Structure 1
């Protein structure tokens, strides 16, 4: 049995986060879910997590450092979801995520305990070729910037890189190459992403490769 951990899930009301939360709670971990809308708090509580109502776009590096210092694991599962246009995408998916990473770097610089950091991204983020005129570009640009910053951070981290997400049940997965070509036509169950979060939040050591690209398959997340 893995020792109980204090885990912060940023974007706690997202579909993946709501699938991962009860799985982690069932294993005996102490969950806190950062959300922006207080009306979501009852659903968070029903999932077994403690709601924390904060606007992540209003948090600076010091705020993040203070918040993250309370946890053993931090999971970034937030995103604008395409709402609010490019400005909201950059504010949440890029600037908010960068500040959360820099909060951890500040903890390290101050000689304090630094939690493990899991970033939910997408397959091929660091080598995307999305046209700047395409509606998906602000998200792709944000994720590339954040993932490259995290890879250069020196922090204990892992970037989870699923393909196009579905609501299908998980039957396991497959680790593949982290390229857009490899991802073409492939799908990843959100439930599988949740299973990978649970596995990587609680295992003793993370994989040596700091980007984990995976799609639906037949291998359990425990063997990733």
Structure 2
């Protein structure tokens, strides 16, 4: 049995992952900010851990990761405010990478997006720029770490049921089901 810590544990991807891990006999520890989300996490098969990653320092994150076999970053600020987007999607993600190393967790999976490339073409005047910039910075930080990492770059996530197949695309508006 493996212990997997999922950051952003109440998101659709994270809840689905907690269920998959639980079904195969692994422990899914789902970090959530809002304790009211605990029942949803438990129903999905995860064990809720209340921690605000936006304000948690490296030490607090490392404590949450202690004994884990892997960390999965699936959190996000949800758009809107650029300062909060940078605080969560870049800064907190980078602290999580450092915390995984400090806790001795070698495996880190980053749920990113298809456009996380240096030449994403999004104008700094575009409201989406902060997200694109923050995700790229977090992905680059993970790439530069000494962790064993995987960065998932999906396109638009849908609620379509799983088919057992995915479509790959270099960059653009490819869609993929969360499952």
> TM-score, structure 1 length as denominator?
0.75
Instruction: Name the structure 2 match of 1:183.
Output: 171
The offset of 1:65, in angstroms, is 2.0
More helix by share: 1
Match of 1:131 among 117, 123, 126: 123
Q: Detail structure 1 runs of 4+ shifted over 3 Å in the superposition.
A: none
Pair 1:153-2:150 in alignment: no
Instruction: Name the structure 1 match of 2:84.
Output: 88
Instruction: Name the structure 2 match of 1:64.
Output: 61
Q: Distance in 1 between matches of 2:173 and 2:69?
A: 36
Q: Distance in 2 between matches of 1:16 and 1:6?
A: 17
The offset of 1:44, in angstroms, is 1.0
Instruction: Name the structure 1 match of 2:166.
Output: 173
Pair 1:5-2:5 in alignment: no
Q: Mark the CA change 1:167 to 1:72 in structure 2 (over 3 Å): closer, same or farther.
A: same
Listed as ranges, the matches of 1:197-216 within 5 Å are none
Count of residue correspondences: 177
Pair 1:122-2:113 in alignment: yes
The offset of 1:69, in angstroms, is 2.4
CA contact (8 A) 2:115 2:172 kept: no
The offset of 1:93, in angstroms, is 0.6
Q: Unaligned 5+ residue runs, structure 1?
A: 108-112, 177-181, 192-224
**Paired residue secondary structure (2:114):** coil
> TM-score, structure 2 length as denominator?
0.93
